[in-house]
Amino acid sequence: MKNIALIFDFDDTLMPDSTTELIRQHGVDPEEFWGSTVKDYLLNGYEPALAYLNRLLEYAGKGKPLGPMTNAGLREFGKSLAPNFYSGLSTMLKELREIAQAVSSDINVEFYIVSGGLQDLISDIPLVTKHFAAVYGCQFGEHPKTGVIYQVKKCVTFTEKTRYLFEINKGISPSQVEENRYAVNKDIPVARRRVPFKNMIYVGDGLTDIPCFSLVKRMGGMAFGVFNPTEARSAKRALLEFLSTDRVISMHAPRFRKTDELGALLRAAVSTVAQRAYLERSEAEFEE
Ligand SMILES: [Mg+2]
């Protein structure tokens, strides 16, 4: 069996920012939250991921905007985000599997989400549980007495994101990591790794995706960027940070139907990787 992995960032890649939606629906002004509240922490030297996570925790508790929020509460809220996915995603995921199967029944396509957002907002959305093999994101710990979220348990920063690519590459599952937090360091010969990097296709939109773009691309995989063409800032960043630095193959609006640019390219990418993997397999058998 040959494995191909499509790895997606979540916020602004698969749907608009989920944390922004969480705070907005709990009466917090997103502009103020990101613009001044989180910025205060950044100015005090906090890492961006820790800045927003700590700020969010300050909003949890009785009488606060998020109320006595639990992880189960976050997962429940996450389910309400289901209508927000950008167009064509569910159909595309189904078709990508079919495209690989048409090349050979021995080729398996898997989907992953690696996000700097909140894992619990993402993990229980029906489309995610149906199609994705694993979700990696930031997580909160709950107070032992009240169950209210009160500490940062897992923080996924830009470089931390590559760690999860290595876990996917080596075939180390989240449950194996629960047993051994250092499992990713296991020495597994390249030839025996479950998902070769050249069989990875990474899709992301933000600065936190740059190390993943670089890693996947350098190792022979494919990286596609997403930007919002209706925002001048997003277009400028796409040009300066991603395109002119050669970090991605190309950048597109996050639309996944067959006739959308990104939707069409991802279908072509899976077809190309599947055919290459199939040919390599045939050649290896011939040599044996
Ligand atoms: Mg993003």
In this prediction, residue 287 carries a pLDDT of 64
- Asked if residue 38 belongs to a domain, the reply is no
Closest by CA position to 213, among listed 5, 8, 42? 8
- Asked if residue 169 belongs to a domain, the reply is yes
Count of structural domains within the chain = 1
In this prediction, residue 221 carries a pLDDT of 97
pLDDT in tens, the chain (288 residues): 899 999 999 999 999 999 999 999 999 999 999 998 899 999 999 999 999 999 999 999 999 999 999 999 999 999 999 999 999 999 999 999 999 999 999 999 999 999 999 999 999 999 999 999 999 999 999 999 999 999 999 999 999 999 999 999 999 999 999 899 899 998 999 989 999 999 999 999 988 899 999 999 999 999 999 999 999 988 998 998 889 888 899 999 999 999 999 999 999 999 999 999 999 877 776 665
Residue 206 alpha carbon to ligand 1 centre in Å: 5
Closest by CA position to 154, among listed 126, 128, 123? 123
Spatial strand order in the sheet of 200-204: 149-154, 132-142, 107-118, 2-8, 200-204, 222-226, 250-252
The answer for 61, left when phi > 0, alpha when psi is -120 to 50, beta otherwise, is left
CATH number at residue 232: 3.40.50.1000
Residue 210 alpha carbon to ligand 1 centre in Å: 11
Residue 205 alpha carbon to ligand 1 centre in Å: 5
Return phi, psi of residue 28, to 5°: -100, 135
Residue 150 alpha carbon to ligand 1 centre in Å: 24
- Asked if residue 102 belongs to a domain, the reply is yes
Residue 203 alpha carbon to ligand 1 centre in Å: 9
- Asked if residue 257 belongs to a domain, the reply is yes
Longest CA–CA separation in the chain, Å: 69
Task: Count the Cβ atoms, other than its own, within 10 Å of residue 260.
Answer: 18
- Asked if residue 126 belongs to a domain, the reply is yes
Range of the domain at 277: 2-15+70-287
* 81 burial level (CB within 10 Å; 0-12, 13-18, 19+): buried
In this prediction, residue 10 carries a pLDDT of 98
- Give 134-138's long-range contacts (Cβ < 8 A, gap of 24+): 134/168, 134/173, 134/174, 135/10, 136/112, 136/161, 136/164, 136/174, 137/10, 137/113, 138/49, 138/53
- Asked if residue 7 belongs to a domain, the reply is yes
What predicted TM-score, i.e. pTM, was given to this entire model? 0.95
Residue 9 alpha carbon to ligand 1 centre in Å: 6
- Asked if residue 35 belongs to a domain, the reply is no
- Asked if residue 54 belongs to a domain, the reply is no
Residue 175 alpha carbon to ligand 1 centre in Å: 25
Residue 268 alpha carbon to ligand 1 centre in Å: 23
